[in-house]
Each structure stands twice: as C-alpha cells, then as structure tokens.
C-alpha cells in the first residue's frame, strides 16, 4: 500500500513506472522466480536512454553485472565497502527489480538471534493450540524461500558470528526444517530465492565472518566515487530530490556543491586535486555524508539565514562529520584548513567563506 | 576515404581493391588470432604472388631468419636508431604466435610466395627528444581511446576497447567467411580513422608512412595481398604516394632477438596489440586443432586449471566447487553481455566475485596469478646465425657462467660468499657491473656496501636476477660504449664523472670517491685510471678535511677484502693522507673557530683510522713530525691540547703534558682562550684519556676544586659544552671513574642533584618565563640586564 505521507518510499514505489516500462519491453529470457530478465535488471540500475530509465548507480557497471550473475547462481551476494558507498541502495534496487518488492529485509544487530533468521512463534497461539503452522512466525528468510524471492540482510557482520553461521546450512541446503511441526516438515527454497547481504568494512569487518559462510557468498566491493564531476552530480541530484520532497526552495549554488565535493574527495583520498599529499583522516568521508551536509546546509540557510547556502554553512556542517572518534583528525583538518583552504580562499568567495567559518569553529573547539 | 558513410557492401568492395583484381587488403589488429586465422583463408583463396606487410622496409634483410625453421615465437626485431652516441633510441617490432604478420611471413616462405615490407624504414621513427620508454612500432592506442569506442562499450556493457574488440571480432575465430570478416574490421577501423583529426594523423607521421606504403603497392605490378594495421588500410586505397628510399632517415642497426610473452604483455601496455598473449595463443591453437570454431568451454576450463595450479604453488587453494562456481559465473557474465563465448573480462570478473572474500584491490594475489597465467612467460628462439649484438652475447655468456638463466624472465635468486669463494666473487663483480649499466638485470638485496660503508663486515651478498628482452634492447643501446660488459661499465662510470664536471662538482672528492668504490666493487679497479687520476688531482687541492678522513676510512674497508685491486689504492691513500697532513698544519692559520673545531674533530676520527686495520699504509712519522712543528709555535689552548693529545697517543709526549695544559687553562692563568678550551680540545681528539690516565683526571679535579664558587659558576656553562661532546657511553665511563675517585654513587654523578626534581625544574623555568614577561611589560628588562 502506498502512502504519500511517509518519510521514505520503497524503491519499487519510487521507480514504479520504470519497472513497468521494463516489464513491457522485456523480450529476454526471465529466470524462474524473477520478475525481469537479467538484462532488464541491469538496465534498471544502470539506465537506458530509449526506455527513459535513469541511471541509479554511479560506479563500475561490471559490478552490477557480477552482482546480477551471482544472484542467478547458488551463491549469495555480499556487498562490502566503506560506510556511505551505496551498498544498501544497490541491494534494494536489485531486489526491487528481481523480486518486485523489497519487503523481505533483516537489519543486522547484536540483538539478532537464530529465531530472527529461521522462524519464531506466536507464543500465545503456541500455548493455546500447540505447535501448528498458524502459530509459526516466519522470518523474512523463510518467506523468501517459500516464495522464491530475494531477502536482504543489512549489516550482517553486526550479528554475532554464531548467529551468522545459521546461514551456512540455509545457503547450502536451501531449506529450513521445522521439527516442531513434525519430523518431515521441511520448507525448501523455490527457484528465485537468494540472499543479498551488506557489510561495513569499518566496523567489525568481514574478517570475523567464518570461512564457511564466506564461501557461500560472492563478494563485491563497492568503492567510493572516484570521479569528482560524477560525485558532484550525484550530490546535486540527491539534494534536489530531498529538498523537493520537503518543498524547500533553497538550493546550494553549483560552486558550493563543487567545494563540498572537492573537500570530500581530497580528505578521502588524502591528496589534493593537484597531487599534494595531506594527512589522512580516520573519519569516513562518504558521498552519503556529503549529501547529508549539503542538505543540512540548505536547511540551515532556509530556516536560519537568508535562504542562500554558501561555504560557511558547509563548514559548520562538515565539522560534525570530520571530527568523530579520533582527536588526531581535528589537527589534520586544521592543517588542511590552514594550508589548503586558506590559499584557495584568496581567489574564491565560497572558499573564503568556508575558511572563515571553519577557523571560527576550530578556535571555539580548542 | 572521402565518404561520409560506409555501407557493408562498400566495405567489402574496399578490401577487394575497389574493382581491381590484382590486390586485396587485409586490415588487421596486431597479434589478433582471428585475423591470423582469416588471413590464411584469404591467402588460400586469393593466391597472391606477393604478400606486402606493414613493417619497416629495411627489415626485409631479416626475412630469411624469420622464416627459418629454428625461429620460434615470440621473437622481435630490435632496432637501434640514431647517429650520435648519446641519442640512440631502441624500437621493437614484436611477433607473437598469433601475429598476422608472423603468419604472413611464414606462409609466404612455405608456399614459395614473395614477401615485401612496405612501411617507411626504421630510421623514420627516430625522434629528436630523449627516449624515456622503448617504442613499439605497432602502436594501436586508438583501439581503446576513440570516442565511438567508448560509446559502443557503454551501449554493449563492455569494459573497454579490448573487450569490445574481443566481443566483435575474436568471437569469429574458426569461421570461414574471410571477406565478411575483413570487411567488418575495415568498417570498424574506417570509423576509427574518420574520428581522428587530420592534424593528429600528420603529427604522428601516419600520412607519410601511408604514402610510403602506397608507393610500394603501386610500384609492384604483381598480384598482391596487402596486410596492414586496419587503421591504415582506408588510406591505402587512394592518395599521395612516396616512392621508396627517396628520403634520408636516421641510421639503424637491427637484429632478430628472442622475445618473451611477459614482455609482449608489457609492451602492449604501451597501447599496441592485444595483451595477455598466452590467452590468445590458446584460442588460436584450439581453433587450429579443431580446424573450426573452438570449444570455448574447454579453453576456459584449461585456463582455469592452469590458474588453479599457479595459485596452489603459492598457497592460494581453489576448491573444485569454487572452480565450478568460477566457470558458471564467467559463462553467466558472457550471456549477460549477449554471447556464449567467455573472454578475459568475464574471467577476471568471475575471479573477483567468486574467489576474493573481502575488500578487493588490483594487486590481490589472485589477480597477479591470473595475469601471469594469461601473459605467459615463455621466451622464443632465434637461430644461431641470427647472431647477437656482441654486448648481448657477452652478457649472456657471463650470465651462464654465473649460472643465471637467460631463457626465462622468471626472477632468480643467488647468494654469494664474496669473501671466501673466488668464483662467487667473480660473479658478484659481474652483477655489480650490470648494476652500473642500469639495465635492471641485477638487484642486490643484502651485502656489504662499500659505497655507503653500510654492513661492510658481512660475508654474503644476496641478489635478485632477472633476464628479459628489454634488457637485451638496452644492451643494444649501450653497444656504442663497447662490446664487453666491463668495458661498458667503465664507460658509464666515466660518463658519471663527466656529469660531475659539467655540474661544477669536478673536484668533489666524496662524489668521485663513490664512483671509485662502485668500480672497485665491480672489479674494475685496474681499468679506471682516468677516474683515479681525477681523484688524485682533486685530493691535492681539496680543503675538505671531512671528506679526506672519510676516504681514508673507507679505503681500509675495501683494502681488507680485495687485494687484487690494491695497486692503485695504496698510492691514493698516501695522497689523501698527505693532503690531510697539509690541512692539519694549516690549522693555526684558520680564523673561524667552527672550522678549527671541524678539523680537530676529524683529527680524532683520523686517529681511529690510523690505529685501525691497515694503519701501516699511513706514513705516521710524517704526520707526527708535522704536529711537532705546529706545537713549536704559539697556539691557543684548544689546539695545543688537541695536538698534544695526538702526540701523547703516539708516545712522542708524556701524559703530564696534558695534565699541565689542563691545570694552566682551567685555573685561568692562560688568558689566550676560555677556561674549558684545553679540556674540549682533549675531548675531541682523545676523550678516553680522562678515564685511562688517572693523572689527567686527578689534575683536572684538583684544579677545579681550587676554583672559588663564583669562578666555578662562571665557567660551568662552558664545561657543560665541553662534556657535551662525549657520547652517552663515554659519559658513563667518565662518571664511573669520578664516582670511584670521590667514593660516591655513580648515579648521583650521572643524574645530577637530588635537590631538584624534574617538576621543580619545570616550575622554575615557568617562573623564569613569567618573570621575564612581566619585566618586559614593565620595561624593566634592560634594568635587570645592566644591574
């Protein structure tokens, strides 16, 4: 059911018309359980001018190819990478295109237990009527298996290793036995079932995952956007989408977005655009964070200022991203401001605004 | 070439000579197996009297060698162009198992058909600028960079121009429609050419070369098959012609040399031909074996089995299940890209997603193994009569004597006992010579380094050795310096000396000496008389006493292990020492205290050298006489003490001399210098006197004890400066001695007063700072200073 008043719509809702257009135009072989052929799934994610499908993933198209082929096979798909590199977005888009909906999802955390992966019980019914199918609460995995659909597990490495290993037998056997219902009660996965998992390389990483589980997944690393213009375009488009949803007219000028994208690229790569090495930060400088900063800057400009987002709002918002866990980052950022930004501020109004505001904040934070 | 569009029929017409029946054109991509396959079909049907190949015309002299049965691919024609000794450039024209040119030449030989090379002579490629990379004469950079290639890749979901080429053209191997095939290649290349600006064509020399080729084509009236890079074919149908040999080009010497699959792969990185020759060779062999379309799955399977074996050797195990998954993923990717044939990009992608668990990077061992599997590392063969450039032959023979292989580009390791094994010593010298040549053959991982003096005491040298066709190319370039490795190494060292002169450092004895040491390490001591002469003359005029002492010190190290090269060295030692003595005797004329201090410090160092191994090489008597003469003149206490210490050590003066000097100086009776001067002079030259000769310490202690508090406090900072010249070990020795003498705990002597803790000291410093600040603010600082 689509609700116009929600904060965030699902991918299948946002791209409903595109998915429909692809279904109509699809003349290729569709694998069992899939709603679209692999080629159309690819076009949904990478774009198609003829069918007016907008590109949704900015990165190596071969990654999308490999992800699709992995989901066709017996292996699951594990998307790994730094935070904010669009792993969840890719996982959602693939699921929306292949399955037609994105309802089957498990959010990994320390609180996840085996029952969240296999099945649970409605204890009231269980006590009242004994073990029966109606009393069983199927998990998203079980539902996906029974229907031959894709299930997503976000941040799988946040689950305890013993809980993760429940997936080993599920991935190998492609079945879940429910002995409580009888010794022969086994739910076998229908064609089309598969798992897409995501893992963050910064937190407890994939090195803690058991090798047995790793062997059951094909891995894809999603890298941050390398090209400055591409990142800038992405920030602009995402910002536009957010501000439009909120009916806010304030926009960040192109030069301000450029500044933001440049700062992020340089701090992320530990190198200025002309190749000068700079001290690396521990903070994650992802495109998602950049979009958040641009959004927050525009909101600040809209509600607290004259409605014009400039370099100073960017500086105010960026501080919270840069200075997180590691106190060294503050000094490295200070050096960046004093040496790189200051010089640029001499020939650019936006950089000058950024520099002054950043200096002010650093002074206050000393 | 004037059309705006090209249809399929027009493309066919063009390759068939546009209505002519005496010529057909085979537009190819260098090293393409399918082009080679189709060429044979074309040859069999067209039956030419001559095959014309896009290769430098002067290379025709090597055709018999290329056609020789002993010649096995990969091989290359290596050309060294240029007239001036220092402007030589090297160029490669490689042949792989899948080169259409190679097949054309061999086919012509087998079928008794003439073969002709129609490109401009190799000297055409000689450019004025300094060459930084070896040049591949089969440049095909446009196959990856043209705009329409990028568009086509995006449209078809392919990674780059190479993947596009494979997708469109290599999938047709085993088919028989050569006309259709070459028409498609022609159309592809026609579009590439159409998108290239005319100015670029001219700048890169393509127009002139094509005019040469047309000249040859039109001059030969026989039935001909013209085989050229596809980019040139459209230009050969019409346009300006140049008759051959009308223009003078740079001189060129060329040889047919063995080449390597690894080098072919690397050379293709310069934008020429297809990379990963081993993969394409497999494709070709499979098609020839089947005499039809190959079994792609079998090729994939064989490749992955070899890859698995490569990985197993380095501990990277791949299970059968993983192998199956690899194959399925590769085939799935090919199908997604619209074909059944699996090519390289699908295999690389499948390896990435299936085998690499975790974050991926381009230098992951699995990729390295895969690249190695597909590149191959075989080296071809040429007949003995091909001859070798003399220097290459010499290098090969010396390598063989050192038991290093030159038929592979694999890395080889060698450990040499350079001090105890004469054979090893000779091999070491050869490796050092090759290092001087700078061709990348030898790399010393560990061993005594006489240039820097580092680890000169260790016995073994460890080397990494690698032979490659590139090394052969570089040796050809160096051939103008000589025909033997030692000769060329000496020439290189002389060039380094000339470079010092040109940079205005012709008398930098340190730099010249480093060149000498490199030569000695390489066993060239007997051949470097010009360099030794230069060092000799620079030593006689230098004022750099630090460098002289350094040279004397290092010469001992070399001397101790290679007596055969001593001939020139002993003379050198004497010259250096003579100059040292001269500088020491001039010390009293020096006005800059810091300069004096430097010379005295070096005197202390030199004393160590004179007392070290081979100290007998030095004429100590001359030295001592010179110092004796100095001591007869009036000297400040610092110098007198230092020079006296040398003489006491030599046994020419009694120990009391030092004691008396210290007493007179510290007591303040000698006003010609500060009260710590004699002590400092002693410490710089012979610090051990303070704990070895108790009378010196006693004398110093007694005279210090007699000072009143005020005088003592006044000279304390200077004493601290003098004692600061001691290293921690020496400080501890002295402290022990003092503690014994005064019957106190040595810790109390070393760590200072217990009245003040570190925190007290910090507090006192802070108070002093604040006091100064306050005085400054109140403008009372001058008043305090003057009070």
More confidently predicted of B60 and B786 = B60
Closest by alpha carbon to B233, among B35, B469, B451, B494? Answer: B35
Least confident of A1-15, A223-237, B22-36, B717-731: A1-15
Which pLDDT value is given to residue B451?
65
- Closest-CA residue of A relative to B153 is A61
Question: Which chain A residues are closer than 8 Å to B155 by Cβ?
Answer: none
- The yes-or-no verdict on residue B779 having pLDDT over 50 is yes
Closest by alpha carbon to A197, among A231, A228, A158? Answer: A158
Question: Which chain A residues are closer than 8 Å to B352 by Cβ?
Answer: 66
Question: Residues of chain A with pLDDT > 90: what percent?
Answer: 58
A204 touches chain B (CB under 8 A): no
What six digits make up the tokens of B50?
Answer: 């001559």
Contact B357 A215 (CB under 8 A): yes
Question: Residues of chain B with pLDDT > 70: what percent?
Answer: 89
Tell me if B483 sits within 8 A of B394, measured CB to CB. Answer: yes
Question: Which chain B residues are closer than 8 Å to A75 by Cβ?
Answer: 325, 354
Work out the average pLDDT over A245-253. 84
More confidently predicted of B312 and A91 = A91
φ/ψ of A258, rounded to 5, equals: -60, -45
pTM (2 d.p.): 0.68
Contact A206 B357 (CB under 8 A): yes
B252 touches chain A (CB under 8 A): no
* Residues paired with B89 in a beta bridge: B81
Of A38, A70, A207, the CB nearest to B353: A70
Helix ranges restricted to H, A139-275:
140-147, 161-164, 166-173, 211-214, 228-245, 254-269
Tell me if B261 sits within 8 A of B277, measured CB to CB. Answer: yes
Work out the average pLDDT over B646-668. 90
B622 confidence band (pLDDT: 50, 70, 90): confident
CA B312, B315, B320, B324 dihedral sign is negative
A121 confidence band (pLDDT: 50, 70, 90): very high
Contact B353 A72 (CB under 8 A): no
- The yes-or-no verdict on residue B725 having pLDDT over 80 is yes
Tell me if B245 sits within 8 A of B72, measured CB to CB. Answer: no
Which pLDDT value is given to residue B243?
57
Tell me if A158 sits within 8 A of A110, measured CB to CB. Answer: yes
What six digits make up the tokens of A363?
Answer: 């002074």
Q: Average pLDDT over chain B, rounded to whole? A: 85
Of B157, B332, B359, the CB nearest to A221: B359
- The yes-or-no verdict on residue B548 having pLDDT over 80 is yes
Q: Please count the other Cβ atoms lying within 10 Å of the Cβ belonging to residue B298.
A: 12
More confidently predicted of B623 and B130 = B623
Closest by alpha carbon to A337, among A351, A323, A349? Answer: A351
Cis status, amide bond into B74, omega within 30 of 0: yes
- Chain B nearest CA to A233, separation (Å): 19
φ/ψ of A221, rounded to 5, equals: -95, 125
Q: If you ran DSSP here, which 8-state letter would residue B723 be given?
A: H
Tell me if A295 sits within 8 A of A335, measured CB to CB. Answer: no
A42 touches chain B (CB under 8 A): yes
A29 confidence band (pLDDT: 50, 70, 90): very high
- The yes-or-no verdict on residue B185 having pLDDT over 90 is yes
Inter-CA distances, B404 with B400, B465, B690, Å: 5, 8, 57
A143 touches chain B (CB under 8 A): no
Which pLDDT value is given to residue B567?
58
B480 confidence band (pLDDT: 50, 70, 90): low
Tell me if B181 sits within 8 A of B131, measured CB to CB. Answer: no
Least confident of A18-32, A322-336, B274-288: A322-336
- The yes-or-no verdict on residue B128 having pLDDT over 80 is no
B450 confidence band (pLDDT: 50, 70, 90): low
Interstrand relation of B89-95 and A194-200 (parallel, antiparallel or unpaired): unpaired
Q: Find where tokens 């000794």 sit.
A: B85
Dihedral, CA atoms, A345, A350, A356, A359, nearest 10 degrees? Answer: -80
Work out the average pLDDT over B21-33. 93
Question: Residues of chain B with pLDDT > 90: what percent?
Answer: 35
Q: Find where tokens 């109509």 sit.
A: A24
Reported ipTM exceeds the 0.90 cut: no
What are B68-105's pLDDT values in tens digits? Answer: 999 999 898 888 787 765 566 778 888 999 999 999 99
A363 touches chain B (CB under 8 A): no
B360 touches chain A (CB under 8 A): yes
Tell me if A44 sits within 8 A of A23, measured CB to CB. Answer: no
Which pLDDT value is given to residue B270?
47
Work out the average pLDDT over B4-32. 88
Least confident of B277-286, B614-623, B690-699: B614-623
- The yes-or-no verdict on residue B369 having pLDDT over 60 is yes
B785 confidence band (pLDDT: 50, 70, 90): low
Rounded-to-integer distance, Cα B65 and Cα B667, Å: 92
Which pLDDT value is given to residue B415?
93
Which pLDDT value is given to residue B532?
86
What are B306-365's pLDDT values in tens digits? Answer: 999 988 888 888 999 899 999 999 999 999 999 999 999 999 999 999 998 877 777 788
Work out the average pLDDT over A194-201. 92
Exposure of A191 by Cβ count < 10 A (0-12 exposed, 13-18 middle, 19+ buried)? exposed
The most confident of the ranges A41-45, B392-396, B744-748 is A41-45
- The yes-or-no verdict on residue B1 having pLDDT over 50 is no
Which pLDDT value is given to residue B750?
56
Tally the residues of chain A: 366
Which pLDDT value is given to residue B272?
55
A80 touches chain B (CB under 8 A): yes
- Closest-CA residue of A relative to B351 is A218
Q: CB-based contacts of B199: which residues, under 8 Å, 6+ apart?
A: none
A194 touches chain B (CB under 8 A): no
Contact A72 B354 (CB under 8 A): no
B322 touches chain A (CB under 8 A): yes
Tell me if B66 sits within 8 A of B386, measured CB to CB. Answer: no
CA B290, B291, B296, B300 dihedral sign is positive
Which pLDDT value is given to residue A204?
58
Rounded-to-integer distance, Cα B389 and Cα B485, Å: 12
Q: CB-based contacts of A50: which residues, under 8 Å, 6+ apart?
A: none
Rounded-to-integer distance, Cα B314 and Cα B369, Å: 9
A219 touches chain B (CB under 8 A): yes
Dihedral, CA atoms, B664, B669, B671, B676, nearest 10 degrees? Answer: 40
A210 touches chain B (CB under 8 A): no
- The yes-or-no verdict on residue B754 having pLDDT over 90 is no
B635 touches chain A (CB under 8 A): no
Quick one: three-class SS letters along B504-519? CCCCCHHHHHHHHHHH
B568 confidence band (pLDDT: 50, 70, 90): low
- The yes-or-no verdict on residue A38 having pLDDT over 90 is yes
CA angle B704, B708, B714 (to 5 degrees): 80
What are B199-224's pLDDT values in tens digits? Answer: 888 888 888 899 999 999 999 999 99
What six digits make up the tokens of A85?
Answer: 């590199």
- The yes-or-no verdict on residue B495 having pLDDT over 80 is yes
Least confident of A83-92, A256-265, A268-277, B208-217: A268-277
Tell me if A286 sits within 8 A of A224, measured CB to CB. Answer: yes
Q: Find where tokens 């996965």 sit.
A: A189
Of B333, B357, B360, the CB nearest to A65: B333
Q: Please count the other Cβ atoms lying within 10 Å of the Cβ belonging to residue B256.
A: 27
Quick one: three-class SS letters along B447-484? CCECCCCECCCCCEEEEEECCCHHHHHHHHHHHHHCCC
- Chain A nearest CA to B359, separation (Å): 6
Rounded-to-integer distance, Cα A183 and Cα A26, Å: 43
Work out the average pLDDT over A101-106. 96
- The yes-or-no verdict on residue B232 having pLDDT over 50 is yes
- The yes-or-no verdict on residue A356 having pLDDT over 70 is yes
Rounded-to-integer distance, Cα B367 and Cα B362, Å: 7
Work out the average pLDDT over B644-649. 92
B66 confidence band (pLDDT: 50, 70, 90): very high
φ/ψ of B231, rounded to 5, equals: -65, -30
Question: Which chain A residues are closer than 8 Å to B357 by Cβ?
Answer: 206, 211, 214-215, 217, 219
What six digits make up the tokens of A234?
Answer: 């992405």
């Amino acid at each position: 059911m689509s609700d116009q008043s929600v904060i965030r719509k699902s991918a299948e809702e946002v791209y409903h018309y595109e998915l429909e257009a692809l279904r109509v135009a699809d003349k290729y072989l569709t694998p069992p359980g899939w709603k679209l052929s692999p080629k159309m799934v690819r076009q949904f994610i990478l774009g198609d001018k003829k069918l007016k499908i907008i590109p949704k993933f900015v990165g190596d198209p071969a990654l999308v190819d490999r992800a699709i082929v992995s989901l066709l096979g017996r292996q699951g798909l594990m998307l790994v990478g730094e935070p904010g590199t669009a792993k969840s977005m890719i996982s959602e888009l693939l699921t929306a295109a292949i399955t037609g909906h994105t309802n089957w999802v498990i959010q990994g955390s320390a609180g996840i237990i085996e029952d969240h992966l296999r099945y649970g019980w409605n204890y009231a019914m269980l006590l009242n009527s004994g073990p029966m199918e109606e009393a069983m609460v199927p998990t998203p995995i079980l539902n996906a298996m029974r229907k031959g659909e894709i299930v997503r597990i976000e941040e799988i490495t946040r689950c305890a290793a013993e809980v993760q290993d429940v997936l080993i037998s599920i991935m190998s056997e492609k079945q879940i036995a429910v002995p409580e219902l009888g010794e022969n009660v086994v739910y076998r996965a229908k064609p089309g079932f598969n798992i897409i998992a995501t893992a963050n390389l910064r937190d407890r990483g994939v090195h803690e995952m058991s090798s047995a589980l790793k062997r059951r997944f094909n891995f894809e690393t999603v890298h941050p956007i390398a090209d400055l213009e591409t990142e800038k375009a992405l920030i602009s488009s995402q910002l536009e989408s957010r501000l439009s949803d909120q009916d806010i007219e304030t926009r960040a000028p192109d030069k301000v977005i450029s500044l933001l994208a440049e700062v992020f690229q340089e701090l992320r790569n530990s190198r200025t655009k002309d190749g000068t090495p700079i001290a690396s930060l521990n903070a994650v400088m992802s495109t998602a964070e950049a979009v958040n900063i641009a959004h927050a800057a525009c909101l600040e400009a809209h509600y607290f200022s004259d409605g014009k987002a400039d370099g100073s709002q960017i500086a105010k918002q960026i501080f919270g991203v840069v200075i997180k866990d590691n106190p060294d980052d503050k000094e490295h950022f200070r050096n960046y401001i004093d040496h790189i930004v200051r010089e640029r501020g001499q020939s650019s109004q936006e950089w000058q605004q950024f520099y002054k505001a950043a200096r002010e904040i650093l002074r206050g934070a000393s | 070439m004037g059309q705006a569009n090209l249809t399929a029929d027009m493309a066919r017409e063009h390759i068939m000579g546009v209505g002519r029946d005496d010529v057909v054109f085979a537009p190819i991509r260098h090293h393409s197996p399918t082009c080679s396959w189709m060429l044979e079909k074309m040859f069999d049907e067209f039956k030419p009297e001559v095959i014309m190949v896009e290769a430098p015309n002067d290379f025709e002299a090597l055709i018999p060698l290329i056609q020789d049965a002993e010649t096995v691919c990969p091989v290359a024609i290596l050309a060294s162009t240029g007239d001036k000794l220092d402007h030589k450039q090297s160029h490669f024209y490689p042949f792989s198992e899948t080169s259409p040119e190679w097949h054309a030449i061999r086919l012509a030989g087998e079928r008794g058909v003439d073969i002709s090379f129609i490109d401009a002579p190799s000297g055409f490629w000689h450019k004025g600028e300094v060459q930084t990379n070896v040049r591949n004469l089969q440049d095909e950079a446009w196959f990856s960079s043209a705009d329409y290639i990028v568009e086509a890749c995006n449209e078809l979901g392919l990674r780059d121009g190479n993947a596009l080429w494979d997708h469109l053209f290599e999938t047709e191997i085993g088919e028989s429609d050569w006309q259709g095939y070459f028409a498609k290649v022609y159309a592809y290349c026609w579009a590439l050419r159409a998108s290239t600006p005319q100015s670029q064509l001219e700048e890169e020399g393509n127009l002139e070369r094509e005019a040469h080729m047309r000249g040859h084509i039109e001059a030969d009236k026989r039935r001909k098959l013209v085989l050229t890079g596809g980019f040139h074919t459209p230009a050969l149908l019409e346009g300006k012609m140049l008759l051959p040999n009308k223009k003078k080009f740079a001189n060129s010497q060329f040889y047919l040399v063995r080449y390597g699959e690894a080098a072919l792969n690397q050379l293709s990185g310069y934008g020429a031909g297809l990379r990963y020759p081993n993969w394409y060779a497999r494709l070709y062999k499979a098609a020839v074996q089947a005499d039809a379309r190959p079994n792609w799955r079998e090729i994939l399977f064989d490749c992955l089995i070899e890859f698995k074996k490569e990985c197993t050797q380095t501990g990277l195990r791949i299970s059968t299940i993983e192998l199956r998954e690899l194959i399925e993923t590769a085939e799935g990717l090919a199908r997604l890209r619209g074909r059944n044939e699996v090519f390289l990009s699908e295999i690389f992608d499948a390896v990435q997603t299936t085998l690499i668990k975790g974050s991926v990077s381009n230098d992951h061992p699995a990729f390295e193994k895969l690249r190695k599997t597909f590149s191959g590392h075989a080296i071809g063969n040429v007949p003995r009569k091909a001859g070798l450039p003399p220097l290459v032959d010499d290098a090969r023979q010396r390598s063989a004597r050192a038991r290093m292989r030159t038929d592979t580009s694999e890395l080889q390791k060698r450990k040499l006992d350079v001090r105890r094994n004469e054979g090893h010593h000779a091999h070491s010298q050869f490796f050092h010579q090759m290092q001087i040549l700078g061709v990348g053959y030898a790399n010393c991982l560990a061993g005594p380094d006489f240039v820097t003096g580092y680890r000169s005491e260790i016995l073994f040298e460890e080397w990494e050795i690698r032979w490659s066709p590139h090394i052969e190319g570089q040796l050809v370039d160096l051939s103008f310096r000589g025909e033997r490795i030692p000769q060329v190494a000496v020439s290189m060292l002389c060039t380094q000396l000339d470079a010092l002169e040109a940079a205005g450092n012709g008398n930098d004895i340190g730099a010249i000496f480093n060149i000498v040491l490199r030569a000695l390490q390489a066993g060239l001591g007997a051949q470097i008389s010009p360099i030794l002469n230069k060092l000799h003359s620079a030593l006689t005029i230098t004022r750099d006493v630090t460098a002289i002492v350094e040279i004397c010190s290092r010469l001992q190290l070399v001397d101790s292990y290679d007596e055969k090269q001593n001939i020139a060295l002993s003379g050198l030692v004497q010259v250096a020492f003579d100059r040292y003595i001269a500088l020491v005797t001039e010390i009293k004329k020096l006005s800059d205290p810091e300069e004096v201090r430097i010379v005295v410090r070096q005197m202390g160092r030199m004393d160590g050298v004179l007392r070290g191994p081979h100290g007998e090489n030095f004429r100590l008597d001359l030295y001592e006489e010179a110092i004796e003469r100095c001591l007869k003149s009036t000297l400040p206490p610092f110098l007198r003490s230092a020079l006296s210490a040398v003489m006491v050590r030599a046994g020419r003066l009694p120990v009391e001399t030092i004691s008396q000097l210290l007493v007179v100086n510290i007591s303040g009776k000698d006003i010609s210098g500060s009260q710590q001067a004699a002590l400092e002079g002693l410490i710089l030259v012979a610090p051990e006197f303070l704990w070895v000769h108790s009378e010196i310490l006693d004398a110093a202690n007694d005279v210090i004890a007699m000072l009143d508090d005020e005088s003592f406090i006044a000279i304390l900072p200077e004493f601290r400066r003098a004692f600061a010249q001691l290293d921690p070990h020496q400080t501890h020795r002295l402290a022990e001695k003092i503690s014994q003498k005064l019957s106190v705990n040595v810790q109390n002597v070393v760590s200072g007063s217990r009245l003040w803790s570190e925190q007290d000291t910090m507090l006192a410093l802070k108070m002093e700072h604040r006091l100064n600040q306050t005085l400054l603010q109140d403008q009372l600082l001058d008043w305090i200073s003057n009070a």
